[in-house]
Amino acid sequence: MKKYLLRRILFSLFSLLVVIWTVMLLVFSLTDRSVIFQNDDTWNKRSANERIVYEYSQYQRYGYLEYVNYTSYASNKLGNGDAYTEESNLIQRQEGDAYLESATVQQFIEEYTAKGYKIVRLDPIKFSSGRTKGQLKPGGRGFLLAVRERPIIYRLFDYLGNLFTIETTNDVKDPSLTDRYVRFEKDPYSGLFAIVGSGTTHKYLLYFDSRFPWIHQNWIHLNLGVSYTRFRGQEITGVINDPSGDLKNARQQFPALIGTDQYVETSANFHSATYNMGELTDAEKQQFNDRYTVMTYRRSGLSMIENSFVIGLVAVVIAYCLGLPLGILMARKKDKLVDKLGMAYIVFIMAVPSLAYIFLFAALGTKLFNLPYKFANAQVKFLAYILPTISLALPQIGSLMKWMRRYMIDQMNSDYVKFARAEGLSEQEIFSQHISRNAIIPLVHGIPASILGCLTGAIITERVYSVPGVGNLLTLAINGHDNGIIVACTVFYTTLSIISQIAGDLLMVKYDPRISFETKGGR
């Protein structure tokens, strides 16, 4: 078993590496990178050379390349005095090659050329006629840049190397903070013990509250990158995990006021407190015992991953509760009316494109039961989950019916069934104690995949019903050329798929003792 798991994990990690590499190659090398600026207001407001420099800055931010602006280089070399001003003006209004006579310019070119950078010269753009002849056009000042493309293999290793980070007591770079620790403390907001830190980015590293899944941590961080366009500059883990909706107020006490009678109605989430490097206000000094004063706010809605999981999990429960019994019934009533009706449903749900029956079901649900079609249009949020949940459950029910019927019929023709009949067992006993238990073994393997797959969301279903889930996020990222989210979703989906496969194997071994991954010796 251990050898099997080790081999499986190693092979899975290699597969994950190949998948990430392939996706990165597609979106970062084979796709026009300029599409990330289509909806960039800052890019649209700039023109000429300033737009080009802005592009370079964004490309560097997102890992496409590395670039150095000569003005920044000169500032570090010369300071911000008259010498720097002269050099800066020389570049911005350069005439011909006169700027090359500057020793600082020559040093810049030699230094970065030796490092493999390409020197990019953006000459000033001036008006050629009229009263403004000779004056710089908007955004037309000159620039001298050093640019170096980042190989995709470096980008891959950087991504994997920063995939997980762990907070330590040295995260806060404040020399005035001398008391650094990680320890257990009783959490006044939950009444339970929590792990808190000083010198860490977050104060609460591990804590409990009333929100699913009730135990939370800020200690280990999964870094999936940042959004390029859709949620420009935001951490993708935050985009997926942060709740949405209106602010949710609660009667709480600020940390420094705990034990007093001073309560406030606030939506502040004190468990999310991070260290404040700036100046504290008078109010903050009265409300907090330390500098952990920066925090997020509680919201009434669910996060993207919670929306996807709720819809997916309920759909899975419905599918297994209906699909398995109906498949058993079809097998027991083979070639009868029940079996024919079940086969008709299976053929319909499998043959008709998913978009077609989703739209059909949506139309019936809205017309007959007045259910909300779009998620955002629901007056009662509970009702918004009904149509996408049932639409997601329908094909799963058909699939489980099909396979359960097939496996049941295969088992019905087995020798052990004939032997059981000869022994005098009733048909009910044969079906419940023998045939059903053996027929369900292949389906057991898919249970972890069905549950974990809920976290990834349903791409088509969530898109049709405008569900703010992880599945819909991927379609929005593809349409918006948000390469960061595309890569993050690929990593997320692939990892869950790998985990579900291994978990399925282990569940089969647990369910059926005849299955073993042990290597037996012998000739």
| pLDDT for the residue numbered 9 | 82
| pLDDT for the residue numbered 82 | 66
Answer yes or no: is pLDDT of 147 > 90. yes
> Mind listing the pLDDT tens digit for each residue in 429-456?
777 777 777 778 788 878 888 887 777 7
Q: What angle do CA 332, 338, 341 make, to 5 degrees?
A: 135
Answer yes or no: is pLDDT of 200 > 90. yes
Answer yes or no: is pLDDT of 318 > 90. yes
Phi, psi of 252 (to 5 degrees): -135, 170
**How does 269-296 read in b/e, with b if 16+ C-beta sit within 10 Å?**
bbbbbbbbeeeeeeebeebbeebbbebb
Phi, psi of 38 (to 5 degrees): -60, -40
Q: What angle do CA 138, 139, 142 make, to 5 degrees?
A: 120
**Mean pLDDT of all residues in 331-337:** 87
**Could you check whether the bond before residue 213 is cis, i.e. omega within 30 degrees of 0?**
yes
Residue 384 vs residue 171, higher pLDDT: 171
Structural domains in the chain, sorted by start: 65-149 (no CATH), 164-222+245-294 (no CATH), 304-467 (1.10.3720.10)
Answer yes or no: is pLDDT of 265 > 50. yes
Least confident segment among 143-157, 173-187, 509-523: 509-523
The two structure tokens encoding residue 505? 């194997």
Coil, strand or helix at 270: helix
Closest among 77, 49, 208 to 136, alpha carbons compared: 49
Residue type for position 129: S
Answer yes or no: is pLDDT of 522 > 60. no
Answer yes or no: is pLDDT of 264 > 80. yes
> Mind listing the pLDDT tens digit for each residue in 382-427?
888 888 898 889 889 999 999 888 888 888 777 777 777 777 777 7
| pLDDT for the residue numbered 92 | 65
CA distance 304 to 240: 5
Percent of the chain with pLDDT over 90: 23
| pLDDT for the residue numbered 148 | 93
Highest average pLDDT, of 59-68, 165-174, 462-471, comes from 165-174
Answer yes or no: is pLDDT of 71 > 80. yes
Least confident segment among 92-106, 342-356, 493-507: 92-106
Closest among 110, 206, 117, 153 to 17, alpha carbons compared: 153
Query: How would residue 83 be classed by pLDDT, with cut points 50, 70 and 90?
Result: low
Rg of the chain on CA atoms, in Å:
31
SS3 content of the chain, % helix, strand, coil (to 5): 55, 10, 35
Q: What is the DSSP string of 403-457?
A: HHHHHHHHHHTSHHHHHHHHTT--HHHHIIIIIHHHHTHHHHTTHHHHHHGGGG-
- Average pLDDT of every residue of the chain: 85
User: Which alpha helices (H) appear in 62-102, and where do they start and end?
Assistant: 70-78, 82-92
Contact 163, 72 (CB under 8 A): no
Residue 199 vs residue 37, higher pLDDT: 199
Which residue, chain included where needed, has tokens 């629901």?
Answer: 378
Least confident segment among 296-310, 340-354, 506-520: 506-520
> Mind listing the pLDDT tens digit for each residue in 101-116?
778 888 888 999 999 9
| pLDDT for the residue numbered 1 | 66
Beta bridge partners of 69: 145
| pLDDT for the residue numbered 201 | 94
**Stretch (H or E) spanning 325:** helix 304-332
Highest average pLDDT, of 75-84, 195-204, 362-371, 372-381, comes from 195-204
Contact 397, 323 (CB under 8 A): yes
CA distance 237 to 240: 5
CA distance 121 to 137: 17
Closest among 474, 468, 466 to 490, alpha carbons compared: 474
Answer yes or no: is pLDDT of 84 > 70. no
Beta bridge partners of 65: 149
| 243 conformational bin, left if phi > 0, alpha if psi -120 to 50, beta if neither | beta
State if pTM tops 0.85: no
